[in-house]
């Protein structure tokens, strides 16, 4: 006959589990850092986050905790004054007020922490390298094929015809309005003047009065004067064109390149742009 079942005995393996929950292990946990209210306000609001980062940097350089820089400084300082009937004490402002106050309050500009256009990263689309031939899709010179020289600081492309081949001068173009072709020229030897930048293309408006009474000028003359390039632009254009034309003449397929740059890009019947290989 089978005897009564023996009661289960606890083994020595259960001992480590109990040992795991000891006060020593609980002490290892890092205590939660409770931030002051004024620090929480700085961190939560997006307009003040850059200010909190600046405070942390200054605190690190001074080797003090950042919270100490946020403590409010006293507006008044108590100074002792001699004399029996003067009260012996006076409250003096730490920071004196302005002598002049504007009649109108101007709104203060706040830093939002957003990146400005100047700090944006400039990128080029795939296959777009200096020396590649582009097709212009918009503007006065649309349909023309031009040579890409370099990217300017604003992100725009500096291109030229050359002017002697297709009458396209040194211009700025956005890369959204060009088609990149597989034709490329090695322009490593072409020296583009350093002063050709975004400011170079700013048109200076003549703000001088056109005519006054008694000067013989017509005060009702509203015709806008036609823009004309100055001598520096003409010299720069001739300099760049000369280098590019010499480069094309050294190429084996110079006749084809001259004809290619001088021709217009056109779409005819049953010619689909998505099937073309540029």
Q: What is the mean pLDDT of residues 151-166?
A: 93
CA pair distance 90, 79, nearest whole angstrom: 5
Per-residue pLDDT band for 5 (boundaries 50, 70, 90) equals low
pLDDT confidence band for 49 (50 / 70 / 90): confident
Q: What span, in angstroms and rounded, lies between the C-alpha atoms of 181 and 158?
A: 16
Other CB atoms within a 10 A radius of the CB of residue 265 amount to: 16
* Dist. CA 166–CA 134, nearest whole Å: 13
In whole angstroms, what is the distance from residue 157 CA to residue 150 CA? Answer: 6
pLDDT given at position 157: 95
Instruction: Check residues 9 and 141 and name the one with the higher pLDDT.
Output: 141
Give CA separation, 264 vs 55, 175, 177, in Å.
59, 19, 15
Average pLDDT over residues 40-48: 80
Q: How far apart are CA 11 and CA 242, in angstroms?
A: 95
Mean pLDDT across the chain: 82
Rounded to an integer, what distance in angstroms lies between the CA atom of residue 50 and that of residue 58?
13
Report the percentage of the chain scoring pLDDT > 90.
Answer: 41
pLDDT given for residue 29 in this prediction: 67
Ranking 25-29, 167-171, 236-240, 248-252 by mean pLDDT, the lowest is 25-29
More confident residue, 49 or 242: 242
Which pLDDT tens digit goes with each residue over 228-256? 888 999 999 999 999 999 999 999 999 99
Neighbours of 2 (CB within 10 A): 4
Choose among 170, 171, 137, 174: nearest CA to 154. 174
C-alpha distances (whole Å) from 10 to each of 6, 7, 210 are 12, 10, 108
Which of 145, 243, 147 minimizes the C-alpha distance to 191? Answer: 243
Contacts made by residues 107-113, CB under 8 angstroms, sequence distance 24+: 110/47, 111/47, 111/50, 111/51, 112/46, 112/47, 113/46, 113/47, 113/49, 113/50
pLDDT at 275 > cutoff 90:
no
3-state class of 81 per DSSP? coil
Percent residues over pLDDT 70 in the chain: 82
pLDDT grade, residue 224 (50/70/90)? low
- pTM for the complete prediction? 0.56
Cα 144 to Cα 193: distance, rounded to the nearest angstrom? 24
Using pLDDT thresholds of 50, 70 and 90, give the confidence band for residue 12.
very low
For position 24, what pLDDT does the model report?
53
Q: Which of 20-34, 112-126, 166-180, 199-213 has the highest mean pLDDT?
A: 166-180
Q: Report the pLDDT value the prediction gives residue 15, as an integer from 0 to 100.
A: 47
Looking at residues 108-117, what average pLDDT do you find?
78
C-alpha distance from residue 169 to each of 61, 134, 238 (Å) = 53, 14, 10
In this prediction, residue 217 has a pLDDT band, given cuts at 50, 70 and 90, of low
pLDDT for 241: 95
CA angle 47, 49, 53 (to 5 degrees): 145
Segment 142-152, tens digit of pLDDT: 999 999 999 99
Tokens of 84: 């029996």
- Reported confidence tier of residue 18, pLDDT bands at 50, 70, 90: very low
Whether 19 has a pLDDT exceeding 50, the answer reads no
Stretch 25-43: mean pLDDT, rounded? 70
How far is residue 30 CA from its own chain's centroid? 41
């Amino acid at each position: 006959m089978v005897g009564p079942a023996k009661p289960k005995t606890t083994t020595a393996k259960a001992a480590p589990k109990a040992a795991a929950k000891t006060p020593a292990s609980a002490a290892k946990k890092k205590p939660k850092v409770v931030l002051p209210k004024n620090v929480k306000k700085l961190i939560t609001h997006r307009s003040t986050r850059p200010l909190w980062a600046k405070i942390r940097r200054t605190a690190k350089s001074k080797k003090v905790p950042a919270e100490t820089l946020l403590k409010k400084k006293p507006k008044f300082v108590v100074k002792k004054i001699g004399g029996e009937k003067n009260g012996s004490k006076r409250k003096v402002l730490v920071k004196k007020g302005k002598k002049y106050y504007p009649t109108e309050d101007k709104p203060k500009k706040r830093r939002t922490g957003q990146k400005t256009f100047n700090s944006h990263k400039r990128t080029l689309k795939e296959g777009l390298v200096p020396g590649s031939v582009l097709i212009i899709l918009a503007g006065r010179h649309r349909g023309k094929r031009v040579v890409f020289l370099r990217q300017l600081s604003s992100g725009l492309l500096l291109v030229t015809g050359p002017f002697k081949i297709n009458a396209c001068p040194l211009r700025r173009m956005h890369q959204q309005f060009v088609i990149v072709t597989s034709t490329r020229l090695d322009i490593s030897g072409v020296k583009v003047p350093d002063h050709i930048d975004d400011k170079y293309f700013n048109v200076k408006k003549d703000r001088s009065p056109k005519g006054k009474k008694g000067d013989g000028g017509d005060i009702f003359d509203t015709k806008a004067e036609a823009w004309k390039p100055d001598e520096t632009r003409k010299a720069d254009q001739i300099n760049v064109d000369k280098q590019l034309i010499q480069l094309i003449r050294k190429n084996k397929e110079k006749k084809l390149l001259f004809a290619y740059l001088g021709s217009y890009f056109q779409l005819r019947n049953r010619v689909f742009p998505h099937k073309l290989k540029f």
